[in-house]
């Protein structure tokens, strides 16, 4: 079941990415809604030690799916974009709680305080820089976009804070996924509010699909630490 679900997810992902390259709106429309449900099934049937971690992760994917579907109709009005933004905002908040569940109680070879400050500064600077560039174009969406940008930066910082509280592989995949999520949303925002980018849909979905998959895979690789002898 695990391999079958993963194969179907890859097929849906490749189909959706190909749709953006060949500009086939129908193929994109019919593949996108299957991405997160398939990833949810894959997450469910894979080995997860903590039921609460599974539930939080599935809830984040569920709100992501809702955001995916709603944003498919954003050309019908700004309300759909706002609803999609709200769905993803909730997904990021839930991911924050998920990351807090996927941590050891005690730190092991964690980051030094100066290192944490440095990396957090880079993430905050990236988020603030994007908002600053977009600000003249946001209009009535200024406050919602600032709130959303703050939450996704916070989500990425919480992913960073797992360093030393999980295995290197689990940390690396989850943090990579969080950064890719920031990249995906940044491309989407620039494409929507500033100027259309070449095959923007492809790059948005590529970074988004990779983000969700690497986060899920990283969470699956989080294991309870064996007690030291």
Reading the chain (229 residues) residue by residue, the pLDDT tens digits are: 889 999 999 999 999 999 999 999 999 999 999 999 999 999 999 876 667 788 899 999 999 999 999 999 988 888 999 999 999 999 999 999 999 999 998 888 888 889 989 999 999 999 999 999 999 999 889 999 999 999 999 999 999 999 999 999 999 999 999 999 999 999 999 999 998 889 999 999 999 999 999 999 999 999 876 655 4
Q: How many CB atoms sit inside 10 A of residue 32's CB?
A: 23
Q: CA-to-CA distance for 22 and 129, rounded, in angstroms? A: 33
Contact 150, 202 (CB under 8 A): no
For 199, the token pair is 């095959």
> What is the CA angle 212-217-223, rounded to 5?
140
The tokens describing 205, both together, are 């979905």
Q: Are 98 and 60 in contact (CB under 8 A)?
A: yes
Would you mind telling me the total number of residues written for the chain in this entry? Answer: 229
Whole-structure pTM value: 0.93
Task: Spell out the long-range contacts of 54-61 with Cβ–Cβ below 8 A and sequence spacing 24 or more.
Answer: 56/94, 56/97, 56/98, 56/101, 57/98, 57/216, 57/219, 59/94, 60/91, 60/92, 60/94, 60/95, 60/98, 61/36, 61/91, 61/212, 61/216
- Show the CA angle centred on residue 122, arms to residues 120 and 128, nearest 5°: 100
Name the token pair of 182. 């920031």
């Amino acid at each position: 079941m695990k391999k079958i679900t993963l194969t179907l997810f890859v097929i849906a992902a490749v189909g959706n990415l190909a749709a953006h390259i060949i500009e086939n709106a129908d193929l994109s429309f019919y593949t996108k809604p299957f991405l997160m449900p398939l990833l949810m099934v894959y997450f469910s049937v894979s080995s997860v030690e903590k039921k609460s971690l599974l539930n939080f992760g599935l809830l984040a994917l569920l709100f992501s799916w809702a955001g995916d579907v709603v944003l498919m109709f954003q050309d019908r009005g700004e309300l759909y974009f706002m609803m999609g933004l709200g769905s993803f905002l909730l997904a990021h908040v839930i991911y924050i709680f998920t990351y807090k569940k996927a941590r050891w109680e005690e730190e092991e070879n964690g980051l030094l305080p100066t290192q944490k400050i440095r990396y957090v500064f880079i993430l905050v600077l990236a988020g603030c820089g994007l908002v600053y560039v977009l600000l003249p174009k946001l209009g009535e969406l200024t406050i919602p976009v600032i709130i959303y940008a703050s939450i996704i930066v916070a989500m990425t910082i919480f992913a960073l804070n797992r360093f030393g509280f999980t295995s290197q592989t689990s940390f690396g995949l989850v943090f990579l996924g969080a950064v890719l999520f920031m990249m995906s949303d940044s491309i989407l925002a620039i494409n929507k509010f500033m100027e259309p980018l070449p095959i923007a849909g492809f790059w948005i979905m590529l970074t988004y699909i990779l983000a969700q998959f690497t986060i899920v895979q990283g969470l699956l690789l989080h294991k309870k630490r064996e007690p030291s002898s």
